[in-house]
Structure 1
């Protein structure tokens, strides 16, 4: 029996949507989006971001998912399947290998941040029970503390991935994602009872239309939308490969986009009012020129100060807040590890459990090196992975799918589960749009990151 016919698939549409949305939902939504909005005009940024998600990210998301479902395999072999030309297959394989470097390298630094979240979560619990010395160590910044948190985060990630698609990724995504929304709802209700929250909500939801066409805002929104759906990160490609041919792929891609965007929007509803509550408590948020202070460390410095100023209830909600962030980080990390695990287990016919531990352990060793050389390596690895490798991988995926993958088999793939796709207006525009317009948008993102 062939590999494609025995390949495991998601057991339900909801399972796929929550898993794929979980791959996209991460610290970029809960940490990055609110701080970008706060730095770029609040409601004005929100309008531009939502527009660019539809115009830029959604069409490219369909492309990546279609590549994966067409190949029914890992990124390397899925890219090879797009053409019959030997030279094209070699080129596709090379792009697949390049793409696989993105989730592997991102996981190497992302897991360190995930470890911080776990430590802050347990530190908040220690605060609640007055274990002051333990809380201080967990909230400190030592190499030993960072390594411990990182290893715990890897342990959770590996345990989920080794379970496979149905019993691992889908099972836990359908539990973690609803928990994410419940925690958001609790935090939103609590934050809105605090003084200053309404002012923050107004800043977030009421746009300053004079800023909508600001170049800096547009580029920031484009970059945020691009990275929010992990375009070029291989996660959507590999999850697409586990999607049944009977499913309506554009509809599934739209569901993933809506869930991911909803999380980013709701995160802004929580974090932006929380920032204004913190300002009421005397915490400095903005500099004299209106720029956001400590945007990179907002969730580890500013917001904990706000929670601590609110007494016992604040400590409880601090626990919930860092639990929420940990869940968001974990739903992304499992998709990152799944990419290399799928390649090795399929190419070499190895057991998934063993492969998960070996590859997870190998990437964890890289993370350990970063932890002990933090000042010189962390920022460098993060910059190389997110500002260079991921957008270049997205550009290569987009160009290959647009120019090498022929229009007829491409539409045939999209028409499985959606027979009328090729006759619809979107179906007629999409192949041309992804061939010419999407690469241009990606190039702008790359150019903006270099200037």
Structure 2
């Protein structure tokens, strides 16, 4: 099976294309919404410092495993996991792990696209404000089944249109356009916000760590979990993108580049959102409760920041549009990788046309989203919790156990020596096989344990 797909398999056309696509898969609302919110809730600079350490010791080694499994198998997650062993039982379990992994992007996409739809509606709402269409703006920014349906369906159509183009003409083409746009929009927003009153205080809170908080157990676990989700470990996106990576490429170096771009986006998001929060506080918007906890952590980007933009007149309307365009781009670069996982499986297993497969599978997951929209109170939080707190960490733990214990050490090293012949000569190459085997599973189990806490 693996060999059959090997010769005909599409690959990324360039290194930059791969790095921006894979980083785009990792860059999502977790970086731009989740990271600044976590930083604001956990002492700003102290959280940033611990997060950067956690990215290196938890997320990066596991990213290498996931990408290596994909490139070794040269197939979808199920067949790539099966290829790790010749033992029939291990193959069966590997396939099962692949299916668990595959359930993650499908389940995440079901609720994520609803949030993506909100972003699109807020973006349209910002344009409506600019043209004085207050009725339309109120509807677009309000919360209704009709509005949620409209936004969700537009978001799905955009996602499917990119995925149906394939790896080079769809995912790579759009990632290399959307990711630079993301950085440019961030730069424009940062320059604007930093000139506002109160912004420098926010910047100081974010960049200057309070070292007394660095060893706080809650902060360390939050930073570990955030680093883990930031790189979508266990989300299958990295495995599938790894399978489109040429054997000539230096895989650890590529993984490090993806990690750096992803971390840069989270860091820059903090540079924008944290000062913006302090600007909002100067304008009289209440952000923190009496006990110092964040008031609206879940809805920070939909409540606090729009209030700040509203207080800034016409310029605020323009920058609100830029901000929600930025968030929509981040959400899209992630959603295309989520849909790609099941599309790759069906088109490889059944030799179906990519465009038809993309629309059919996108339509099926969209139907699940529609059910969630109509039963929002009962289902949205439930699906989000099951997908991110249970399915994703479980898949990550399984990938880790299979990558560390089932996949033969020699075969693993051989895979990484392709494109990086002196892999075992460096300290990382010597340490990594044992680290993945013993340390990573403990760290992932800790993330799972913390999510139950």
Q: Which residue of 1 is the match for residue 352 of structure 2?
A: 350
Match of 2:438 among 416, 423, 436: 436
Q: Deviations over 1:338-385 (max 9, x none)?
A: 000000000000000000000000000000000000000000000000
Residues 197-229 of structure 1: CA deviation (Å, up to 9, x unaligned) = 000000000000000000010010000000000
Structure 2 SS opposite 1:41: coil
Deviation at 1:422, TM superposition (A): 1.6
Match of 1:261 in 2: 263
The reply to whether residue 3 of structure 1 matches residue 5 of structure 2 is yes
In 1, Cα distance between the equivalents of 2:238 and 2:393?
15
Q: Supply the distance in 2 between the matched residues of 1:133 and 1:256 (Cα, whole angstroms).
A: 43
Rounded to whole Å, the distance in 1 between the matches of 2:446 and 2:4 is 42
Q: In structure 2, the residue corresponding to 1:359 is in which secondary structure? A: helix
Q: Give 1:6 shift.
A: 1.0
User: Secondary structure in 2 aligned to 1:296?
Assistant: coil
Q: Distance in 2 between matches of 1:326 and 1:263?
A: 14
Name the counterpart of 2:89: 87
Q: Secondary structure at the match of 2:232?
A: coil
Q: Which runs of 5+ in 2 are unaligned?
A: none
Deviation sequence 1:61-95 (CA, Å, 0-9, x none)? 00000000000000000001111111111110000
Shift of residue 2 of structure 1? 3.3
Secondary structure in 1 aligned to 2:298? helix
Q: In structure 1, what is the Cα distance between the partners aligned to 2:63 and 2:52?
A: 15
Counterpart mapping for 1:205-284 below 5 A: 205-284=207-286
Distance 2:386 2:284 in 1: 37
How far has the Cα of 1:423 moved from its partner?
2.0
Counterpart in 1 of 2:112?
A: 110
Q: Which residue of 2 aligns with 1:203?
A: 205
The whole-number CA distance in structure 2 between the counterparts of 1:423 and 1:303 is 49
Q: Which of 31, 34, 43 pairs up with 1:32?
A: 34
Q: 1:139, 1:73 → 2: CA distance?
A: 42
Cα drift, residue 108 of structure 1 = 0.0
Return the TM-score normalized by structure 2.
0.99
SS in 1 for 2:299: helix
Q: What is the alpha-carbon distance in structure 1 between the residues aligned to residue 244 and residue 379 of structure 2?
A: 35
Q: Please give the per-residue CA displacement for 1:85-115, whole angstroms capped at 9, x wherever unaligned.
A: 1111111000001110000000000000000
Aligned match of 1:54: 56
Q: Counterparts of 1:426 and 1:262 in 2: how far apart (Å)?
A: 22
CA distance in 1, matches of 2:428, 2:303: 45
Partner of 2:187: 185
> For the residues of structure 2 that align with 1:423 and 1:180, how far apart are their CA atoms?
37
Structure 2 counterparts to residues 4-403 of structure 1, below 5 A: 4-403=6-405
Looking at structure 2, the residues matched to 30 and 424 of structure 1 have their Cα atoms a distance apart, in angstroms, of: 34
Give TM-score scaled by structure 1 length: 1.00
How far apart are the structure 1 equivalents of 2:424 and 2:342?
33
Say what the alpha-carbon RMSD is for the aligned residues. 0.6
The whole-number CA distance in structure 1 between the counterparts of 2:402 and 2:10 is 26
Structure 1 unaligned residues grouped into runs of 5+:
none
Aligned residues: 451
Q: Point out 4+ residue stretches in structure 1 off by more than 4 angstroms.
A: none
- The separation in 2 between residues aligned to 1:385 and 1:189, in whole angstroms, is 36
Which deviations, in whole Å up to 9, do the C-alpha atoms of 1:170-190 show, x marking residues without a partner? 000000000000000000000
